[in-house]
Amino acid sequence: MSEKKPVVLVTGASGFVGRHLTPALARAGWSVRRAVRSPKGIDDEVVVGSIGPETGWQAALEGADAVVHLAARVHHTREKNADQIYRDVNIAGTLHLARCAVAAGVRQFIFVSTVLVHGRSNDRRAPFSEDDVLTPRGLYGLSKAEAEAGLKTLARDNDMNISVIRPPLIYGAGAKGNFALLTRAVDLGLPLPFGAIRNHRAFLAVQNLSSFILHRLGRPDPVSNFEIFLVADREQVSTAEFIAHLAKASGKHPRLFAVPPALLGAVLKMIGRQNTRDSLIGSLELNISKALATGWQPLVSLDEGLHLALSSQDT
């Protein structure tokens, strides 16, 4: 008789990261249960509706060995009652799921947070590390920081092993946001005014995030049941260098021209794009030594990750 596969419940399974992670989990021998808001006709899906403080998780968690919580409210900060919605989904929804997981006897819980709990840049400071005092920015960063704090309190009173992962910008096939915008600009051959930027920023290939999640699922910490990890590619490069690598992966020539960073930053600030200014001009360096000390190694390099992102492949 074959040994029963361990069961992992993945929230946000139909999102960008989830579409990469779930097949990687299946290949690694996990039986994947996909939590979805509405029926999508996917094998092993379980419909839970909207995530919040009253979501019914009992059926989804029955017999589960682990949970990977990807689902979150992200890009809707200007909608009506946004603050309450972010609190209901990202804080109350996360903590309710974790408490239900404890009650169901789940052994491991992985929460994908965000590097924004540290702020948007660390210009003129050391790379961010897990022990830094948090300075979260925006509704998303604030809500993730509060959810982390709640999970830490929960871990003190229970045996479930909780891992918090704080990723920077995640790129890969199907990624949206700034990565999609840069990819489109490079593909169209648009001139980009970032040639003079000499910052250092961390990025994370979705394959590397998936591999770290798999690594943690296979190696729960025997000493502490609550751990936080900063996870990124080994290469931490400037915005200009990232665009050059992106162009190389797409077989294009990067059309970069130099505008003084101070001038570019002033223009972005003047037009109300301070967040864009921080993302393009500011530095965001991460100390990933704690993740590496677990024995994990990034699965792909920056160039390999970008090639996979543009060729719509996975590893």
Residue-wise pLDDT for 187-210, tens only, equals: 999 999 999 999 999 999 999 999
CATH number at residue 41: 3.40.50.720
Could you tell me if residue 73 is inside a domain? yes
Asked if residue 100 is part of any domain, the answer here is: yes
Do the domain assignments include residue 185?
Answer: no
pLDDT value, residue 77 = 58
Tens-digit pLDDT profile for residues 249-282: 999 999 999 999 889 888 887 877 767 777 888 8
Is residue 115 included in any domain, yes or no?
yes
Q: Does residue 178 sit within a domain?
A: no
pLDDT of residue 170: 96
Please give the Cα distance from 291 to 128 (Å, whole number). 13
Which residues touch 82 (CB under 8 Å, ≥6 apart)? 76, 139
Evaluate whether residue 168 is within a structural domain.
yes
Active-site residues: which are they?
A: 140
Look over the chain and give the mean of its residue pLDDT values, rounded to a whole number: 91
Whether 218 is in a domain gets the answer: yes
Q: Residue 313 pLDDT > 60, yes or no? A: no
Per residue in 14-69, pLDDT (tens digit) is 899 999 999 999 999 999 999 988 887 777 899 998 999 999 999 999 999 999 99
The domain in which residue 224 lies consists of 7-172+202-234+284-300
pLDDT tens digits for range 282-296: 899 999 999 999 999
Q: How many distinct structural domains can be found in the chain?
A: 1
Q: Is residue 307 in a domain? A: no
